[in-house]
Amino acid sequence: MRSFILGVLGCSLVLSAQAFYSASDDVVELNPSNFNKEVLQSDSLWLIEFYAPWCGHCQSLTADWKKAATTLKGIVKVGAVDADQHKSLGSQFGVKGFPTIKVFGANKNKPEDYQGGRTSQAIVDGAMKSLNSLVKDRLSGKSGGSGYKQSGGGGAGSKQDVVELTDDNFDKMVLQGEEVWLVEFFAPWCGHCKNLEPEWTAAASAVMEQTKGKVRLGAMDATVHQAVSGRYGIRGFPTIKIFRKGEEPEDYQGGRTRGDIIARALDLFSDHAPPPELLEILSEDTLTKTCVDSQLCVIGVLPHILDTGAAGRNGYLEVMTKMAEKYKKKSWGWLWTEAGTQMELEAALGIGGFGYPAMAAINSRKMKFALLRGSFSEAGIHEFLRELSVGRGSTATLGNGSMPKVHTVAPWDGKDGQLPEEDDYDLSDVDLDDDDFLSKIEL
């Protein structure tokens, strides 16, 4: 009996954790099956929350999200995606943490990040602001669209982002280029190729944006350009191959939806991308650019050089560099500074002038930060960042809600620190009983 009750209780807990939204709510539950029809082909403005059932911040948002959806009913569509279950949708739109809210306006292929508050009133205000902007664009004749829709329908993307490959340009662009390539070999009469076309186009636009052109999608009509197609033994359509410079091509083995294609492209990008550079905070530009350009910037505050020497400091920098490599798929920014150099920054982060080395992670979009509470080690930092990346970390508002002042300083020269030299005085011929002696010394 006891085990039965525990089992029922366990099931109810699982159901309550997962059932964020039901059919009776005004929040539309979205998944790979209905996302294309409901959102991408819609003329409506959408606010969509990407969440994970185990995420505490997502659970806290649920009531306000439902209330906002009810308030906006018939005006703005409000949806939700369980991105933990439907990872392909999360990958397609660059979701890296939970909850992430995106605004799908005129160009559904390139949604904007929602930057407002998380109360129902703030969400409604943000939605109405986006709707007002959309209406103004339409009145002025700006479509804001992607500029191209495939003949197969249902795909938002620009055909310009799919590179048309031929026998003449293939070697120069694909084999000699620095980019990683996914190439579709197709035939115009092939039904499966026609079905793939809108997915390939939408994926190409997303991959171009998210990898900054480091991974490209191309397409080759294998019935026309038979020299390259014959070289790689293309016999069925569509055939997709992956090309990396200096390596043998490999067959693409993933799914054929845009989400599957994007996810594979991002994996290829991460595998070959160098880790982000670990930068010393030398000026306000360093801090601002790194934190604004990244979803999260990780800042290490290291002990004074006199306390550690060059070897000790390099040890801490090596730990941070390894963590940057480990988390390079996140595309976070990585910074460091010497204790006592940027006091306003330390004060804003609540570091308080002791306990070095210290570490904080800043989300400049939300003006929130979190502090490393564990050890400044690979294991300690990994646990800290892992919790943050899944939405479990404890956060606080950054200072007064704005980026702190940063002073311009000289870069570390890579050497051990030296104590400042003091003036030497020759006292061999001085009468120490002379009352005027001390008054003559300029301290």
Tell me the catalytic residues.
Answer: 55, 58, 190, 193
Dihedral (C-alpha) 426, 428, 431, 433: value to the nearest 10 degrees? Answer: 80
Return d(Cα 50, Cα 353) in angstroms, integer.
38
* Cβ–Cβ < 8 Å for 104, 46: yes
Which residues, including other chains, have CB under 8 Å from residue 135's CB and lie 6 or more apart?
Answer: none
- Count CB atoms within 10 A of the CB of residue 357: 21
Residues in the chain: 443
Beta strands across the sheet bearing 358-363: 278-280, 333-338, 297-302, 358-363, 368-371, 396-397
Asked whether 180 and 214 are in contact (CB, 8 A), the reply is: yes
Amino acid type, 443: L
Q: Which residue has the tokens 């991308």?
A: 273
Structure letter (DSSP) for residue 246: T
Q: 149 φ, ψ to 5°?
A: -130, 135
Bridge partners (DSSP) of residue 11 are none
Q: Which two tokens stand for residue 264?
A: 């594979």
Query: What is the C-alpha separation between 205 and 265, in angstroms, rounded?
Result: 12
Q: Token pair of 295, please?
A: 């979803």
